[in-house]
Amino acid sequence: MHTNVEQIFTFIDQESTFIEEQQSATYLEGVVYALELWLEEKKVPTVYNPDKEQIRKAVQLAILKGMKKSAQVNHQMTPDAIGLLVSYFVKEMAKGKKELSILDPALGTGNLLYTIMNAIPTENYAFGVEIDELLIQLAAQTGELLTHDVQLFRQDALKPLLIDPVDIVVSDLPVGFYPDEETAQDYFLQSKDEMSYAHHLFMEQSMKHVKPGGYLYFLVPATIFETKQAAQLHKFIKEQGWIQAVIQFPSSIFKTKGQEKSLLILQKKSEALKAPREVLLAKVPNMSNKEAMELFFQKIDIWQEENSK
């Protein structure tokens, strides 16, 4: 007996491999073709009533297979180990909310955004911005298959965005220097001495597009506060928001030390709110250690309860 995830993956994989072999296209372009067939009901996987997580996981497996063959580091999809943990925080902090608007300004394949949208019980709708044509196409098709309410924009997210402020921003930020120095000049976080960091500018752009009191969940380089441009970043965060938490992921989930990331949770300042009582600084234990993970989640729950008093 094959599971729904296996059946869907096999369907996408067969169609993608066929395209890859026949039409000198890449496997990822084949995935776009396979999803198109499915959406237009020209060919569909033989599954009974798949749920949203099954569809997301199967599409994710196919995209991962395609990315192994081609993707650059900065285009890589956010892995589930990280996405599921971010959803846990979003769920905890969104308790009591009826509706949630979400923005991911570096949407990629949409895997992180959809992991969160699938996990939160709240009614939600989202905006995604992505510069890469193939990735945004995959994100649009997956969003449609999952019947999520999403509006996507293919553009440089650091140029002006026609998106009203949202409740939360969630993003696995592209890391490195931002080449468009003219656009960088519009940002407080531009660097005068060297090229500006894209991930810093993304944080500023996100802060602009979140409502006062709204939360921002960023996956950032683990060394973000250790660079030459960090002092300016600190100043910016202090002026505009509050650091809620810095969560370090275990090194084992990253291929190299340089790729290690942390989850930085910020809140945009609001006159109606107070700064958090305590900033949560935590290290995620080895994720296969069940007991340690339970303790970690307990720690988060206690922090969250204290913080929301």
Q: Is 112 in the site for ligand SAM (CB under 6 A)?
A: yes
Residue 112 C-beta: closest distance to ligand SAM, Å: 4
Let me know how many helices (H) and strands (E) the chain has, helices first.
10, 8
What does R_g of the chain's alpha carbons equal in angstroms? 20
Four-CA torsion 59, 61, 64, 68, nearest 10 degrees: -140
* Total residues at interface with ligand SAM (CB under 6 A): 21
Q: What are the strands, taking DSSP E only, across 178-260?
A: 210-221, 241-248
Nearest 5 degrees, angle CA 190-CA 258-CA 262? 70
- Name residues contacting ligand SAM, limited to 46-75 (CB under 6 A): 74-75
**Distance in angstroms (rounded) separating the CA atoms of residues 280 and 278:** 6
Closer residue to ligand SAM (CB): 78 or 206: 78
Per this entry, what is the length of the chain?
Answer: 309
**Distance in angstroms (rounded) separating the CA atoms of residues 309 and 290:** 29
Q: Is 132 in the site for ligand SAM (CB under 6 A)?
A: yes
- One-letter identity of residue 145: L
Q: Is 237 in the site for ligand SAM (CB under 6 A)?
A: no
Residue 256 C-beta: closest distance to ligand SAM, Å: 15
Q: Is 135 in the site for ligand SAM (CB under 6 A)?
A: yes
281 CB-near residues (< 8 Å, 6+ apart): 245, 246
- Name residues contacting ligand SAM, limited to 148-207 (CB under 6 A): 156-158, 172, 174, 198
Q: Is 116 in the site for ligand SAM (CB under 6 A)?
A: no
Contact of 63 with 138, CB cutoff 8 Å:
yes
Q: Is 78 in the site for ligand SAM (CB under 6 A)?
A: yes
**Which one of 17, 76, 248, 304 is in contact with ligand SAM (CB under 6 A)?**
76
Q: Which residue is nearest to ligand SAM (CB)?
A: 108
Closer residue to ligand SAM (CB): 112 or 243: 112
Q: Which parts of this chain interact with ligand SAM (CB under 6 A)?
A: 74-78, 106, 108-109, 111-112, 129-132, 135, 156-158, 172, 174, 198
